[in-house]
Amino acid sequence: MMDLLKFRVFKGIFVLSFALIIFSCEDVIVENRQSGSALGTTYSILFYDTMERNFEKEVDSVFTAINQSMSTYIPDSDISKINAGDSTIVVDGMFQDVFNLSKDINARTEGYFDPTVGVLVNSWGFGPGKQIELDSTRVDSLLHFVGFGKVRLNDDNTISKMNPNIVFDFNAVAKGYAVDRLGVLLEAKGISNYLIEVGGELVAKGKNKIKNKDFVVGIDDPQANDRSKPIAKIKLVNKGLASSGNYRHFREDPMSGVKYVHTVDPITGYTKNSNVLGVTILGKSCAEADAYATAFMAMDLEKSTSLILDKEGFEALIVYIDGNGAVKQFVTKGFEKLYVK
């Protein structure tokens, strides 16, 4: 009887101790934050773990690799060398990823997303290249150097261009791709709850483990200068989010006062002053969302809304001006369901 009582006591102590260990492991959640500057903008990373961790070196390595591969502002980057006519460059996996993604979205958007628009971006004064005075004749001549069907990723991972004057510009997708790569880095470290932002492009995985709630992010109002007053707040759950708009990025001619927006239409060759003020896309990846948000700024509203409604796994908020001059919103049902009051 005494031995049985001892066994029951020891068993009770063991069960209690085991329960305390489990409770302790589940209860210790540490919120980690990192921030800094990269890719000509800022970034911030929020993630949860059971200890304090810092991945500054690894994060810097990701940005360094992306810059060396795809930055048009670095003279000796792979993309700069290719733009200068070097056909011997063997591009890395990141360049291949972005090239193939761009090829796919170029086809899906009927050419409105086109990273070979670089010669026009430079000529209009929005890139690292020389700005020139443009008229219809010059724009038409530059369009000969635009078109994703005029470039090819070869089997040996070199790039071929039908014309040496074709200029790549992956800036419309690079930030989103960087966000995705940082997500891959965190997951390789065993992190499954995080929120990453680079220049306004975001990706979220899991949830806020301190509050045990979904991550909530704000969408900029394209008509407001105060970024602390978003047009909407949404739950961001296991998705990438990217926004594009002409409300902050434009160049004003000092002589005429004419404003040239930063969205260049690869079909016409001109900057696009459309009725669309801002686009926010939710997608399977931030890179895809980034690319579609850029394309939708150049596309007509009807084309954009039709495409997004047919695109499984993607949602959109598009702010535009209707025929009467009133500001309106097109919101997909899936996007609207994520609103936070």
The alpha carbon dihedral of 269, 271, 274, 279 has a sign of positive
Q: From first to last of its 341 residues, what are the pLDDT tens digits of the chain?
A: 545 444 444 444 444 344 444 444 456 899 999 999 999 999 999 999 999 999 999 999 999 999 999 999 999 999 999 999 999 999 999 999 999 999 999 999 999 999 998 888 777 776 665 555 666 778 887 889 999 999 999 999 999 999 999 999 999 999 999 999 999 999 999 999 999 999 999 999 999 999 999 999 999 888 777 777 899 999 999 999 999 886 554 445 556 554 444 578 888 888 777 778 889 999 999 999 999 999 998 898 999 999 999 988 999 999 888 888 788 999 999 999 999 98
Return the DSSP state at 148.
G
Residue 264, helix vs strand vs coil = strand
N residues, the chain: 341
Q: Is the residue at 19 inside a domain? A: no
Instruction: Tell me which DSSP letter residue 53 carries.
Output: -
Task: Yes or no: say if 55 and 186 are a contact pair by the CB < 8 Å rule.
Answer: yes
Residue 16 lies in a domain: no
Residue 145 sits at φ, ψ, to 5 deg, of -105, 15
Q: Extract the tokens encoding 226.
A: 């105060």
Q: What are phi and psi of 205, to 5 degrees?
A: -135, 135
List the CATH number of the domain containing 157: 3.10.520.10
Question: Is 341 a member of any domain?
Answer: no
Domains in the chain: how many in total?
Answer: 1
The encoded tokens of residue 197 equal 């932002």
Structural domain for 153, as ranges: 34-336
Q: Looking at the domain assignment, is residue 270 inside a domain?
A: yes
**CA proximity to 77, closest of 58, 98, 46:** 98
Contact 296, 282 (CB under 8 A): no
β-sheet bridge partners, residue 195: 46, 204
CB count in 10 Å sphere of residue 81: 16
